[in-house]
Amino acid sequence: MKNIFIGRQRETKELNELKNKNFFLVVSGRRRIGKTILLKNAFPDSNYIFFWPNKSIDWILIEISKELNVPQFRNFKDLINFLLDQKKILIIDEFQNILSIDNSIYGEIQNIIDERKFKGDYLKIAVAGSSFSLMNKVFNDAASPLYGRRTHEIKLSGLSIKDLFKWVNKSIEDFIQLWSVFEGVPYYYELIDRKKNSREDIKSLLISKNARLLDEGKAILSMEFSGQSKTYDTILSGISEGKTKLNELATLFENKSNLVIKYLSIMRNEFGLIKRVTPIIDDPNKSKEGIYEINDNFLKFWFNFIERNRNYIEQDRFNEIEAKFENNFNSYVGKSFEKFIILLIKDNLIKEFSKGRFTKIGVQFGQIKRFPKKSLIAKSDDSIGLGDIKPNLAIKKELKIKDDDDNSYEIDICGVNEKTKEILFGECKWKEKVNALSILNELKEKTKNVDWNSNDRKEIYVIFAKSFSRRATEFEGKRVFCFDLKDIEKTLRK
């Protein structure tokens, strides 16, 4: 598969509207997301410049003169002015690399922008960059020459699920498995083989000795961390292994919570690699129930199946890594399936919940509230002190709490509408032949812990699964929706 350019209607429209005015546009987005092809497609008659990392400015100026067949200039300011005087839009790619080449160029560009604005001369420049942190430094640091100079900005995210599904043309099960790794990053889909199933594609691209994407995670992180990645790698590895709470991550740093808070903040706000997730009914600014997740599906997969097995890779033990993949991939996809479904609902693709029926959609979790905490604990007959306190197994069984669940619950999907007082409770099961009634009985118990308009709300249930052995349309007087993969496929093909 080659040259994916699909969707992007909103961004293309925005770029088309710029053509008749002066602009200094900034397009940012993660590596491989499609920034360059978007700009080239929108501005086909443009001059294109690429900044190679770790090259001298003299070398770059020579290469640009060859590529564009223009005179060779001794400085970047003269080159830009010459190109703009041709009355063609100028695209500058990997703009953040200037920082490591000669950051005085940013000052030259500032002078060009200011002079041309003052004179009313032609000024149409679009710059693109793949490093979230460095682009943030270039444009949002008040000390930067280009602070306040951009006129427009596009933060490019992944392709939509619906656009990708139609283009990839695989079965819905294969597509969801691919999406769980590659999400909406077009470049990765260019590499897949239509003749292979999703597992074979993923293994050939990631889990083999000469896999093309084996070190892709390193490339993404090095672009952000510039070689200073040990602390950040530790946090990302910890999150991928299930240490998602602050106190759990602190154990990786001798329980230094303040240190972890500092780095978590940097990774959220400067690098954009992780996010803090809170229960959907909580105020995220006040909630104490926050957990941390890696934003990017590819990095989630890479840390789970590649970086975690680095010692095996160094010894060429790829057969063992492949076995680990086969044993654990289904569970990994199950978690991604929840994210997939929430996005479908947010994008109004599930007609039953479309057009803003629910003003908030997300995950709901927290501590069991049905009984006081003390009632979840009982001393054994021969207990002497606190060290002998054990969970009350009868109560835990009644509430369907596992021993390692720390008396907590989680509902995969929860949506609320403050005006109508409707609340949606849903579960996502990456399994065949799911018995909806069994899931509904478990879900009912968990919903009792959700403290939202408890005495005056309209509950709706939904279950998503690969397939059902038994469906339901009603449960204890409440509306129930069941969607299997065939139903989801019909939705995406419309």
Q: Tell me: the pLDDT tens digits for 298-347? A: 999 999 999 999 999 999 999 999 999 999 999 999 999 999 999 999 99
**Res 373 pLDDT > 60:** no
Residue 398's pLDDT is what? Answer: 46
Backbone angles phi, psi at 415, to 5 degrees: -130, 145
**Res 383 pLDDT > 90:** no
According to DSSP, the β-strands at 478-483 and 458-465 are parallel
Rounded to an integer, the average pLDDT of 256-274 is 93
Q: What is the pLDDT of residues 153-186, one digit of tens each?
A: 999 999 999 999 999 989 999 999 999 999 999 9
According to DSSP, the β-strands at 474-475 and 478-483 are antiparallel
Q: What's the one-letter identity of residue 219?
A: A
No. of H helices and E strands in the chain? 21, 17
In the chain, % of residues over pLDDT 70: 91
DSSP 413: E
Contact status, residue 224 vs residue 273, Cβ threshold 8 Å: yes
Question: Residue 41 to residues 6, 8, 31, 110, 158: CA-CA distances in angstroms?
Answer: 11, 11, 18, 27, 17
Q: Do domains 9-155 and 163-341 have the same CATH topology?
A: no
**Res 254 pLDDT > 90:** yes
- Write out 330-392 in H/E/C secondary structure: HHHHHHHHHHHHHHHHHCCCCHHHCCCCCCEEEEEEEECCCCCHHHHEEECCCCCCHHHEEEC
Exposed, middle or buried by CB within 10 Å (0-12, 13-18, 19+), for 460? buried
**Res 207 pLDDT > 50:** yes
Q: Which of 19-23, 309-313, 368-372 comes out lowest in average pLDDT?
A: 368-372
Where do the structural domains in the chain lie, given as residue ranges? 9-155, 163-341, 348-369+409-493
Residue with tokens 């949506």: 415
Q: Which residue has the higher pLDDT, 436 or 381?
A: 436
Most confident of 117-126, 344-353, 393-402: 117-126
Residue with tokens 């946090």: 235
Indicate left, alpha or beta for 371 from its phi (over 0: left) and psi (-120 to 50: alpha). Answer: beta
Contact status, residue 35 vs residue 130, Cβ threshold 8 Å: yes
Residue 353's pLDDT is what? Answer: 83
Rounded to an integer, the average pLDDT of 476-482 is 97
Contact status, residue 65 vs residue 219, Cβ threshold 8 Å: no
**Res 257 pLDDT > 70:** yes
Q: What angle do CA 385, 387, 393 make, to 5 degrees?
A: 105
Contact status, residue 64 vs residue 45, Cβ threshold 8 Å: no
Smallest Cα–Cα separation from 234: which of 243, 226, 245? 243
**Res 296 pLDDT > 60:** yes
Q: What is the pLDDT of residues 106-136, one digit of tens each?
A: 999 999 999 999 999 999 999 999 999 899 9
Taking the C-alpha atoms of residue 272 and residue 249, their distance in angstroms, rounded to an integer, is 18
Q: Provide the token pair at 38.
A: 């978007």
Q: Is the domain defined by 163-341 classed in CATH 1.10.10?
A: yes
Taking the C-alpha atoms of residue 203 and residue 402, their distance in angstroms, rounded to an integer, is 33
Q: What is the pLDDT of residues 211-221, one digit of tens each?
A: 999 999 999 99
Q: Which of 117-121, 135-139, 403-407, 442-446 comes out lowest in average pLDDT?
A: 403-407
Contact status, residue 134 vs residue 99, Cβ threshold 8 Å: yes
> Rounded mean pLDDT of the chain?
91
Residue with tokens 């970086």: 307
Smallest Cα–Cα separation from 207: which of 328, 336, 294? 328
**Res 393 pLDDT > 90:** no
Residue 225's pLDDT is what? Answer: 82
Give the strand order in the sheet containing 152-155.
Answer: 47-50, 90-93, 124-129, 23-28, 152-155
In the chain, % of residues over pLDDT 90: 84
Global pTM value = 0.89
Stated as kind and residue range, the H or E segment containing 269 is: helix 257-269
CATH of the structural domain 9-155, one choice from 3.40.50.150, 3.90.1300.10, 3.40.50.720, 3.40.50.300: 3.40.50.300
> CATH fold of 348-369+409-493, please?
Trna Endonuclease; Chain: A, domain 1 (3.40.1350)
Residue 391's pLDDT is what? Answer: 43
